A and B are shown apart, each in its own frame.
Chain A
């Protein structure tokens, strides 16, 4: 009988105040052991203050071959950046 454990993605909050960041993955039978293994594998040198684990199968992702269509629309909208607008210097800080 094959007993390959499912794959989990590991996210770690490096310091208080920061967001969790993806650091890697691991195999574990359930969430509880995934968290324990994540602690042993990914935080041996104070790399984190909090851990999330998510079954890899639960992650949905955009197709990388469609990246162009997906991200192109924002390229032409440069007015979304504050530097698009010319504010005279004597107006002061804005």
Chain B
């Protein structure tokens, strides 16, 4: 997901810890100045900031196509979608900051490569059809994860998720609409959509993180109400929702093991290449370097401007004080 394999802190055993857990069990939201265990605070900072970094880095693969969108309307739509993602990043950074970490620290962690972001954004967008796949599949997967997070135990995170979810449906639909236009077009356009699906399907499946059996950090996070569904649960839901949509589009999902299971009333599906996943997480995906370089360049190139704005703000404050 947008936050994958978040390392989870430990719960304490003091009376305060017990009262805290009791509050969560009673569904009382935790707010920034409430007492909370250090483990809860640190896990949340990792999770929310990873989520924020994903929104920010996630602008890059789609941004790649803004200037080359096939029509002015598609361009305006994509621009609005990418702008939303910037907004999502900002809501989330602010939520993380309520836990006592500064924006500069968070930025530094991303730029130095210390913080992670979702594996999915390290794949390239080779054709226009990839932009459709990102909206349809990647935003679709993100929705699966973000909808339950609206009920998470930390107030600012939950409120940020509510805002984000209001905007996500547009993202998935515009992606589906791009794919639909392609499959209803020429043979070449349909082939382009199929090719993009072949490349994006497995990375999208892997977004949900490792199988539950290998997911070491889930238990405490679930107890704390900051992870609400298991990776496999959400993955299954995503597959069940997406297969009929692919069929409707007349596209073939690149999984020979995919088939309806009458007993489970769900689709059985194959195993992704988890070696590839861990390799991408370690920084060796196709675009990891490029993504980090792009973020570093944007940060460095903007330094003079940020400094100028602050200098101007300080000067006008001084003048205002002098005038009073």
Interface residues of chain A, those whose CB is within 8 Å of chain B, are 1-5, 7, 24-27, 29-30, 33, 40-41, 44-45, 61, 63-65
Contacts and interface: CB of A to CB of B under 8 A. Distances in A.
Given A4-B104, A44-B84, 7 more contacts: A1-B307, A3-B307, A4-B103, A29-B312, A44-B80, A44-B167, A45-B167
Contacts of B279: none
Contacts of B286: none
B91 A24 contact: yes
Interface residues of B, number: 29
A5 B310 contact: yes
A7 B84 contact: no
Nearest to A63: B33
Interface in B30-71: 31, 33-35
- Max chain B Cβ within 10 angstroms of own Cβ: one of A24, A26, A65: A24
B72 interface: no
Contact of A26 (B35, B90, B104, B317): B90
- Max chain A Cβ within 10 angstroms of own Cβ: one of B90, B102, B104, B166: B90
| 10 shortest interchain CB distances as A-B pairs | A29-B313, A30-B313, A29-B309, A3-B306, A4-B104, A25-B94, A3-B310, A64-B33, A3-B307, A29-B310
Nearest to A62: B33
B223 interface: no
B83 interface: yes
B94 A26 contact: yes
- Max chain A Cβ within 10 angstroms of own Cβ: one of B167, B303, B310: B310
A64 B34 contact: yes
B87 interface: yes
Contacts of B237: none
Contacts of A27: 103
B195 interface: no
11 contacts: A2-B104, A3-B306, A3-B307, A5-B310, A7-B94, A33-B313, A40-B87, A44-B87, A63-B33, A64-B31, A64-B33
A25 B102 CA distance: 13
B35 A65 contact: yes
A33 B163 CA distance: 22
Interface in B153-167: 159-160, 163, 166-167
Given A44-B84, A44-B87, A24 B310 contact: no
B313 A61 contact: no
Interface in B135-175: 159-160, 163, 166-167
A39 to B, nearest CB: 12
B316 interface: yes
B240 interface: no
B277 to A, nearest CB: 33
A8 to B, nearest CB: 10
A30 B316 contact: yes
- Max chain B Cβ within 10 angstroms of own Cβ: one of A25, A40, A44, A65: A25
A33 B309 contact: yes
Contacts of A26: 90, 94
Nearest to A6: B313
A41 B87 contact: yes
Interface in B303-322: 303, 306-307, 309-310, 312-313, 316-317
B22 to A, nearest CB: 16
B232 interface: no
Contacts of B163: 24
A64 B35 CA distance: 9
Contact of B97 (A3, A7, A30, A63): A7
Contacts of A65: 34-35
A4 B102 CA distance: 9
